[in-house]
A and B are shown apart, each in its own frame.
Chain A
């Protein structure tokens, strides 16, 4: 009997449990293989929905379900707190002393926010005039505060990369513009977006487009702002370079780290407890029978549900290959696909991977009604439909029509438009108007 242990029953872990159960159905049904998934509770959170809580669009009951309801019958859900992984002895040790031996381990414990790591942030004023929205409590507390906000300076801020869903803070700024416009008090609210990056986003073409949108919506952009400390009493943030930024209401995305057990497991994590992972196979560098997926990895792509979904299409067959002694496929290309909500019932879609930055064009191929990097109502409708797609297609591990695990250049225009930032020297060389592949 072989044992697969999955750590974390969030997006990535749940997709893997469902995919593996189907892919290895004979072994699972005959009892030759068992799958155990470990989590600390029975509450599965639809994390993309957190963005909509502060604006009263979603409520808690819209984005929380039982983990049991999302997992196949043959998978055992075990509650526990993970102490560490014995990477050489192939066993997971729980804090209550239980040990789970495994033939294959899949680490899918995601990323967590670390608001306490920024000096002063969780001190005076936390959840009074300074909030995060990456937690259910934060998002709900912020909703109450936004409703009662009399006006003033609202600063949306990212402490540092990497963060989950890197477009979420931009979306928050866009939705805040829409929210206060709808309330008829936009003129009373000064919106500022402060980022440690030197542009609105990490990659040049999308950064130029998003900076343009910020300007259009009268949202001030403050770049290269690395917060050293927050003074909740004086309501100001101080940068390491001594610049100061005052706020009446601060909406921050705190520093992120991986699960703490990663740091207690030999050779598993990087400086921030993200699992050191092979870029193309998703095998962990710590041991050949350990794999990682989703936000838990250290891979240079977005921490996002779409990435976990694309990774699962590569990882599930790789785990079957590993169990059958066949070489792993180098199939993952860093593919990410995100709908960016821009307010006023519009959104824009970005599609990219390790080597190809988000480009304009049509999705999924030329002539399709869904534009890339351009606002549309259709993209907004797709973003709202995502919740249904998440519970009914993504989590069960079904393919999503029109979405392939690897990035496709179909419909994309390789020539950058209105960019005044700079090309990544490692990106494929392109001629103006030419196609990359």
Chain B
């Protein structure tokens, strides 16, 4: 059930299958697909936090982690990513969907 986006393998929901395929240009394209026309420095702060945490820990942060540790308040997170900050920022950051463990 995988397809490609700009030549890069993604799953059926559009999350990158291989985080190492990620580039900043790709991030901008994924963002446009998610209804975010331009990635501002505030968007980038969140996206880079997500990606950094995932690469360091192997787990994609949840919304609660974002609110607590990304440096951006919850209210603003929803203004930046109205369709779900953790999910959309993970997608733009080229990492798997946050699952909140199990």
Which residues of A approach B to under 8 Å, CB–CB? 160-162, 166, 196-198, 201-203, 224, 226, 228, 240-241, 255, 271-272, 279, 299-302, 336, 352, 422-426
B96 lies within 8 A of A422 (CB): no
CB distance from A330 to the nearest CB of B (A): 15
Determine the chain B residues whose CB is within 8 A of the CB of A272 once the complex forms.
64-65, 68
CB distance from A334 to the nearest CB of B (A): 9
B102 lies within 8 A of A423 (CB): no
How many Å lie between the Cα of A102 and that of B84 in the bound state?
A: 45
Interface assignment of B17: CB less than 8 Å from any CB of chain A: yes
How many Å lie between the Cα of A422 and that of B17 in the bound state?
A: 12
Select which of A271, A301, A426 is within 8 A of B69 by beta carbon: A271
Given A241-B82, A423-B1, A202 contacting B99 (CB threshold 8 A): yes
Given A271-B69, A300-B59, A162 contacting B78 (CB threshold 8 A): no
How many Å lie between the Cα of A166 and that of B68 in the bound state?
A: 22
Q: CB-nearest residue of chain B relative to A203?
A: B102
A422 lies within 8 A of B11 (CB): yes
Which residues of B approach A to under 8 Å, CB–CB? 1-2, 11-13, 15, 17, 58-59, 62-65, 68-69, 74-75, 77-78, 82, 84, 87, 96, 99-102
How many Å lie between the Cα of A424 and that of B59 in the bound state?
A: 13
CB distance from A166 to the nearest CB of B (A): 6
Given A166-B102, A240-B75, A300-B102, A426 contacting B68 (CB threshold 8 A): no
Determine the chain B residues whose CB is within 8 A of the CB of A198 once the complex forms.
84, 87
Q: Counting chain B CB atoms within 10 Å of each CB, which of A196, A255, A279 scores highest?
A: A196
How many Å lie between the Cα of A240 and that of B64 in the bound state?
A: 11
Q: Counting chain B CB atoms within 10 Å of each CB, which of A161, A166, A202, A241 scores highest?
A: A161
How many Å lie between the Cα of A162 and that of B98 in the bound state?
A: 12
How many Å lie between the Cα of A228 and that of B77 in the bound state?
A: 12
Q: List 30 A-B contacts (CB under 8 A).
A: A160-B62, A160-B100, A162-B100, A196-B63, A197-B100, A201-B102, A202-B101, A203-B99, A224-B87, A228-B74, A240-B74, A240-B77, A241-B82, A272-B65, A272-B68, A279-B58, A300-B58, A300-B99, A300-B101, A300-B102, A301-B101, A336-B102, A422-B1, A422-B12, A423-B1, A423-B12, A424-B99, A425-B11, A425-B15, A425-B17
CB distance from A427 to the nearest CB of B (A): 10
Determine the chain B residues whose CB is within 8 A of the CB of A300 once the complex forms.
58-59, 99, 101-102
How many Å lie between the Cα of A299 and that of B59 in the bound state?
A: 9
Per CB-CB distance, the 5 closest pairs between chain A and chain B, nearest first, are: A161-B100, A202-B102, A425-B17, A422-B12, A160-B64
Determine the chain B residues whose CB is within 8 A of the CB of A203 once the complex forms.
99, 102
Determine the chain A residues whose CB is within 8 A of the CB of B68 once the complex forms.
271-272
Determine the chain A residues whose CB is within 8 A of the CB of B59 once the complex forms.
300
CB distance from A196 to the nearest CB of B (A): 7
B63 lies within 8 A of A226 (CB): yes
B100 lies within 8 A of A202 (CB): yes
CB distance from A295 to the nearest CB of B (A): 11
How many Å lie between the Cα of A47 and that of B26 in the bound state?
A: 47
How many Å lie between the Cα of A237 and that of B63 in the bound state?
A: 18
CB distance from B72 to the nearest CB of A (A): 12
How many Å lie between the Cα of A160 and that of B62 in the bound state?
A: 9
Determine the chain B residues whose CB is within 8 A of the CB of A302 once the complex forms.
101-102
B96 lies within 8 A of A425 (CB): yes
CB distance from B30 to the nearest CB of A (A): 15
How many Å lie between the Cα of A387 and that of B75 in the bound state?
A: 44
How many Å lie between the Cα of A422 and that of B96 in the bound state?
A: 12
Determine the chain A residues whose CB is within 8 A of the CB of B65 once the complex forms.
271-272
CB distance from B45 to the nearest CB of A (A): 16
How many Å lie between the Cα of A25 and that of B64 in the bound state?
A: 44
Select which of A160, A240, A299, A422 is within 8 A of B13 by beta carbon: A422
Determine the chain B residues whose CB is within 8 A of the CB of A299 once the complex forms.
101
Q: Counting chain A CB atoms within 10 Å of each CB, which of B65, B96, B99 scores highest?
A: B99
